[in-house]
Amino acid sequence: MKLRQMLLSLFVAMFMAGGLAWAGDVVNINSATAKELQKVDGIGAKTAARIVVYRDEHGAFKSVDELLKVKGIGKKKLEKAGDELTVSDEGKDKESDKH
């Protein structure tokens, strides 16, 4: 009986942790690869490549809004993807750095 309860508890914990991680995925535009950027709604291969090139040429983005300087990103595209993007590092408050 104890083994069954332990296994059930473990399963529930793993399910909850996996669900929270999936729901909270935010892509850091200062460290993401082009492939990682393409996982964001509205960012395709060309736009992702342009973001990486812009970042390499101009340095780290200070805010998500700076993506407007990247060719192919307008206000509508930024609004569509903004909640999935951040410039924060691990351990910083992501909400304050989001679009």
Question: What is the pTM for the complete model shown?
Answer: 0.66
Strand partners for 28: 86
Residue 92 pLDDT exceeds 70: no
Q: What is the DSSP string of 9-47?
A: HHHHHHHHHHHHHHHT--EETTT--HHHHTTSTT--HHH
- So what CATH class is 26-97? mainly alpha
Give the pair of three-digit tokens for residue 57: 């040429």
- pLDDT band of residue 24 (cuts 50, 70, 90) is low
Residue 4: pLDDT over 80: no
Rounded distance, CA 61 to CA 25, Å?
19
Domain ranges of the chain: 26-97
pLDDT, one tens digit per residue, over 36-81 is 999 998 899 999 999 999 999 999 999 999 999 999 999 999 998 8
